[in-house]
A and B are shown apart, each in its own frame.
Chain A
Amino acid sequence: MEDKRQWPLFEVFIRARGGLDHKHVGSLHAADPAMALDHARDLYTRRQEGVSIWVVPSKAIIASDPAETDSLFEPARDKIYRHPTFYEIPDEVKTL
């Protein structure tokens, strides 16, 4: 049940610089999407943190269930061969 006494919750994503991904930075309350964008600007970009903002209604986010952590993520733990650690990397390759 939605609490009518409070504005809906939005999640905020900020792109720090051109070329980087938008990263989740936090959440805020706002009455509508336009207000959410203004609030995000005022709350999360006060110190030049970003060049672009996304706001998403929190209820639009579908999250995995913490109770299922074991069955979702545990099976990947012993499959280290999925990490490409067995390749020889030439010295000339600086960033990988």
Chain B
Amino acid sequence: MNTGATEAQAHEAEAQALFRYVLRLGDLSLVLGQRLGEWVGHSPALEEDLGLANIALDLIGQARLLLKLAGEVEGRGRDEDQLAYLREQGAYFNAILAEQPNGDFGQTMVRQVLIDAFQLELYERMTGSADARLAAIAAKSVKEVRYHLRYSSGWLVRLGDGTPESHVRVQTALDLLWPYTVELFAEDDLDRAMADSGIAPRLSEVHAAWIKRIESILAESTLTRPADRPHAWHGKRGQHSEHLGYILAEMQYLQRTYPDARW
């Protein structure tokens, strides 16, 4: 084997790794945005309807940038629409916290706080990424995410430190969703490779900052932090809960029924 061929292979492997990593980020935003979109027309107040729709659109905007980048990295001519609407479930790499059902409004806010704080700590550090394109996307997204967390944590404090009923509801939601947060920070070979090459921050560093931020929000909300348990989730490797299939069925319906439809 000559060196040229080896180099080409190494280059291809690097591109493939970056492709999968960018999909993890993009799919997290895409799936969470789609989930939040389910609230439109059903929110407890008109004002929340617009608030949640704004956040959903921010997330789908982030997903669009990330999936477009993923398509370029992959180099097989797939654009962001094809990646969003024509992949199978096993080719989605979001952590499965994002696909968990909305539940009541409090449960949606708990999921939102957990992911907003993760994205905030991640993107803040990614603005210095060795990949200039990811750095630019992070710089844009971090401003949006900072507002998302302000919105969701404001609600968590109101509900946690609200009535006895609202307190019980959000504590129950927190107990339910907390185990899924472990996957966000479970570093695998791909996360490690990205951190080694300076493309992404170390997940252990993101985790330390995240837990600090979450603990202060939980304290203000008078909520109790559940214990960490070993996780059995592998959404980041494409193994999902049963919920993602339903989300994709709804999200991809139009594109699959009317391929290449435009409006």
* Across-interface contacts of A29 in B (CB, < 8 A): 45-47
CA distance A42 to B47 in the complex (A): 8
Given contacts A32-B158, A35-B154, contact A7 B50 (CB under 8 A): no
Shortest CB–CB separation between residue B223 and chain A, in angstroms? 18
**Total contacting residues, chain A, CB less than 8 A:** 14
B51 touches A34 (CB 8 A): no
Majority secondary structure, B binding face: helix
A7 touches B45 (CB 8 A): yes
Given contacts A35-B158, A38-B151, A38-B154, contact A30 B54 (CB under 8 A): no
* Across-interface contacts of A72 in B (CB, < 8 A): none
- Asked whether A56 is an interface residue with its Cβ less than 8 Å from the other chain, the reply is no
- Asked whether A31 is an interface residue with its Cβ less than 8 Å from the other chain, the reply is yes
- Asked whether A46 is an interface residue with its Cβ less than 8 Å from the other chain, the reply is yes
B47 touches A43 (CB 8 A): yes
- Asked whether A28 is an interface residue with its Cβ less than 8 Å from the other chain, the reply is yes
CA distance A43 to B54 in the complex (A): 9
Given contacts A7-B45, A29-B45, contact A42 B158 (CB under 8 A): no
User: C-beta contact mask, B153-179 vs A, less than 8 Å → 1, else 0?
Assistant: 010001000000000000000000000
A42 touches B50 (CB 8 A): yes
A42 touches B154 (CB 8 A): no
- Asked whether B150 is an interface residue with its Cβ less than 8 Å from the other chain, the reply is yes
Shortest CB–CB separation between residue A39 and chain B, in angstroms? 4
CA distance A29 to B44 in the complex (A): 12
Highest count of chain B CB atoms <10 Å: which of A29, A34, A35, A46: A35
Interface residues of A (CB under 8 A from B): 7, 28-32, 34-35, 38-39, 41-43, 46
Of the A-B pairs whose beta carbons lie under 8 Å apart in the complex, a sample of 22, sorted by A's number, is A7-B45, A28-B47, A29-B45, A29-B47, A31-B158, A32-B158, A34-B154, A35-B154, A35-B158, A38-B51, A38-B151, A38-B154, A39-B47, A39-B51, A41-B147, A42-B47, A42-B50, A42-B54, A43-B47, A43-B50, A46-B50, A46-B54
